[in-house]
């Protein structure tokens, strides 16, 4: 019998790496969660019945997700349960439900058409966002809509329900799959158009070695969960689910973002070797989890975690983080159709994060949303550049009543443990003064109320070149600085990091970027105040030696990346790296010198 590598064409697809590692196995194609939607007008007399269908579908899907949430095993990553909560929040949001029902009541659309129309409205709002993380939340709305449509169609099962090879695996019959040429690969890899957090729960219960999706990016919820589960994966691979056939032999290269389909024996052997090497490396890294992060010349290094929601504190502690360097507060604000979280809701969320870290410090970034974010139904002018418009601290200062609510909630949470406050996108001295005045006012309001609150160090994000170039000004007013390298690269090089047409120009090693980072770190040292890097560069082990050589002593990153960075720290002599690091940032071609570290 011929194997797939004998009869099927070999080819390679490129996507975005979501979770590192190598997976080799047979393809399992997940049925698409998307459905054709009937666009039918109903009569006024049919409106009550159609609204009842909508409500029943919503209740049924919510009950199903709540059962999934309740039945999750204890070892389920916090990210997954938190994302199920996000889907439940969207599903049960009264504003979203009312807007969907309005299409039925006012336009006389059938229920399916109403859901599809509201999804289109929300999708346009998400597409206009500058922030890549928030823009990817469009996928969560689409997944909730898909579940409602399946319920209305009477096929409520998960998109992962029982494709044939998957069911065979559950029945212990995975060995029935024919082995590829050059060795035995009983593992399976999942190929899908997209995966929701609920699908990922099903995914965790199966025995998949890896997965690839047509949609998504490295900032999508699917990618975040994949990293928490430590499953090699590639997202945003275009037409993977159309081009790959059931039972094709597939290599998922989560390091390079590549999918090799029906590879030849030589490539299979090479990747098997890389997979074994990666497993040995994983075992070695696990042995240093409890080892303090100290360089060979005795420099203690602070390794912090970037988290999205309070539930992520469990992953931060498991990765041996010594605190949270960035808690994004946007999760409380997004997709609420203008209904902003009140002080009590914010206080409860921030307090949960503080208590979850068991006495370790938590840095809460004030909300990074603005005119381009889905706070209401307004749309920015088509001539606006969302990256340069009313966002982050600019938006907060334009809405002082809203900002005071958040500031009071953060200060109250500080009564439960060590809290720092981080202000995004500052550039002007006037913004600094206004921000500090509002923080003082929020504290005075709490004192007048007699409400408990705690001390809170205040820091500024350095993500605009103007801020980096005037770091001494910031250090006179703030307790610490945190460099957001993702936006700093974007603004320095005038590159929209979400635009695939110019993504190849996004270069963290550009001399201008490195010199701005080096200058900010040096300014912090001169003023005796800490500087942290919380962007993607902090979690890139290839950049660790350079950042150490530049004097960085505080790194904040996704929990899954902490051990790899710690290994680099333990192998480094920071004092010997200093001269080399200066040569790198002085070079016109820093990338060439990066590999020549002492």
Q: Which residues are annotated as catalytic?
A: 221, 534
Residue 328 assigned to a binding site:
yes
Q: Are strands 188-192 and 208-213 parallel, antiparallel or unpaired?
A: parallel
Q: Cα–Cα distance between 531 and 515 in angstroms, integer?
A: 15
Q: Is 286 exposed, middle or buried (0-12, 13-18, 19+ CB in 10 A)?
A: exposed
Residue whose token pair is 């060590």? 418
Helix 511-527 to helix 485-493 angle (10° resolution) is 130
Q: Are strands 249-253 and 22-29 parallel, antiparallel or unpaired?
A: antiparallel
List the beta strands (DSSP E) in 286-424.
302-307, 324-328, 362-365, 419-423
Residue 365 assigned to a binding site:
yes
Q: Cα–Cα distance between 133 and 149 in angstroms, integer?
A: 26
**Pick from 307, 404, 424: nearest CA to 354:** 307
Residue 408 assigned to a binding site:
no
User: Cβ distance 212 to 49 under 8 Å?
Assistant: no
- Show the DSSP H helices in 172-219 as ranges: 197-205
| Phi, psi torsion values for 378, nearest 5 degrees | -70, 150
Q: Is 133 exposed, middle or buried (0-12, 13-18, 19+ CB in 10 A)?
A: buried
Find residue 324's DSSP bridge partners. 305, 362
Q: Is 36 exposed, middle or buried (0-12, 13-18, 19+ CB in 10 A)?
A: exposed
Distance of CA 20 to the CA centre of its chain: 15
Residue 280 assigned to a binding site:
no
Q: Looking at residue 464, what DSSP letter applies? A: S
Residue 245 assigned to a binding site:
no
Residue 486 assigned to a binding site:
yes
Strand, helix or coil for residue 187:
coil
Residue 171: how many other CB atoms lie within 10 Å: 9
User: Cβ distance 57 to 111 under 8 Å?
Assistant: yes
Q: Looking at residue 391, what DSSP letter applies? A: B
Strand, helix or coil for residue 587:
coil
Query: In which region does residue 371 sit, left (phi positive, over 0), alpha (psi from -120 to 50) or beta (all else)?
Result: alpha
- Residues at the binding site are 328, 365, 463, 486-487, 497
- Residues at the binding site for Mg(2+) are 463, 487
- Residues at the binding site for phosphoenolpyruvate are 328, 365, 486-487, 497
């Amino acid at each position: 019998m011929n194997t797939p590598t004998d009869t099927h064409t070999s080819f390679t697809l490129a996507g975005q790496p979501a979770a590192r590692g190598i997976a080799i196995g047979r393809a399992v194609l997940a049925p698409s969660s998307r459905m054709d939607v009937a666009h039918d007008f109903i009569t006024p007399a049919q409106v009550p019945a159609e609204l009842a269908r909508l409500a029943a579908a919503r209740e049924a899907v919510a009950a199903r997700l709540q059962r999934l949430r309740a039945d999750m095993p204890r070892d389920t990553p916090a990210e997954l349960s938190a994302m199920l909560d996000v889907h439940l929040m969207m599903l049960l949001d009264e504003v979203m439900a009312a807007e969907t029902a309005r299409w039925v009541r006012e336009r006389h659309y059938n229920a399916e058409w109403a859901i599809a129309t509201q999804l289109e409205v929300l999708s346009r709002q998400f597409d206009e966002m500058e922030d890549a993380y928030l823009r990817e939340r469009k996928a969560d709305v689409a997944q909730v809509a898909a579940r409602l449509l399946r319920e209305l169609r009477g096929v409520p099962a998960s998109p992962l329900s029982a494709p044939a090879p998957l069911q065979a695996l559950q029945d212990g019959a995975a060995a029935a799959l024919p082995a590829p040429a050059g060795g035995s690969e009983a593992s399976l890899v999942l190929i899908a158009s997209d995966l929701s957090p609920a699908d990922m729960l099903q995914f965790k219960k199966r025995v998949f070695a890896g997965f690839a999706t047509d949609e998504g990016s490295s900032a999508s919820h699917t990618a975040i969960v994949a990293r928490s589960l430590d499953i090699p994966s590639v997202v945003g691979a275009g037409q993977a689910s159309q081009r790959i056939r059931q039972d094709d032999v597939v290599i998922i290269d989560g390091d390079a973002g590549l999918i090799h389909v029906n590879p030849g024996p030589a490539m299979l052997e090479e990747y098997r070797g890389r997979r074994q090497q990666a497993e040995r490396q994983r075992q070695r890294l696990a042995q240093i989890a409890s080892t303090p992060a100290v360089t060979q010349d005795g420099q203690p290094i602070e390794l912090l975690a970037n988290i999205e929601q309070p539930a992520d504190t469990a992953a931060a502690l498991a990765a041996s983080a010594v605190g949270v360097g960035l808690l994004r507060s946007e999760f409380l604000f997004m997709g609420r159709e203008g209904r902003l979280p009140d002080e009590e809701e914010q206080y409860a969320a921030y307090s949960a994060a503080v208590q979850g870290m068991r006495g370790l410090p938590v840095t809460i970034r004030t909300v990074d949303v603005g005119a381009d974010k889905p706070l209401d139904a307004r749309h920015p002018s088509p001539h606006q550049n969302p990256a340069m418009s009313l966002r982050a601290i600019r938006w907060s200062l334009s809405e002082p009543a809203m900002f005071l609510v958040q500031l009071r909630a953060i200060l109250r949470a500080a009564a439960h443990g060590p809290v720092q406050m981080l202000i995004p996108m500052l550039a002007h001295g006037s913004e600094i003064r206004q921000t500090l005045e509002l923080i003082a006012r929020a504290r005075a309001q709490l004192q007048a109320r007699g409400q408990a609150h705690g001390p809170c160090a205040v820091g500024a994000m350095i993500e605009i070149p103007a801020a980096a170039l005037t770091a001494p000004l910031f250090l006179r007013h703030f307790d610490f600085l945190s460099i957001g390298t993702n936006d700093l690269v974007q603004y320095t090089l005038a590159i929209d990091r979400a635009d695939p047409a110019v993504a190849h120009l996004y270069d963290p090693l550009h001399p201008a970027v490195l010199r701005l980072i080096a200058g900010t770190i040096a300014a912090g040292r001169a003023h005796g105040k800490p500087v942290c890097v919380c962007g993607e560069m902090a979690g890139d082990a290839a950049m660790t030696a350079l950042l150490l050589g530049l004097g960085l002593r505080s790194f904040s990153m996704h929990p899954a990346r902490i051990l790899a960075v710690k290994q680099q720290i333990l192998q480094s002599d920071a004092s010997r790296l200093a001269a080399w690091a200066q040569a790198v940032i002085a070079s016109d071609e820093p990338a060439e010198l990066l590999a020549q570290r002492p």
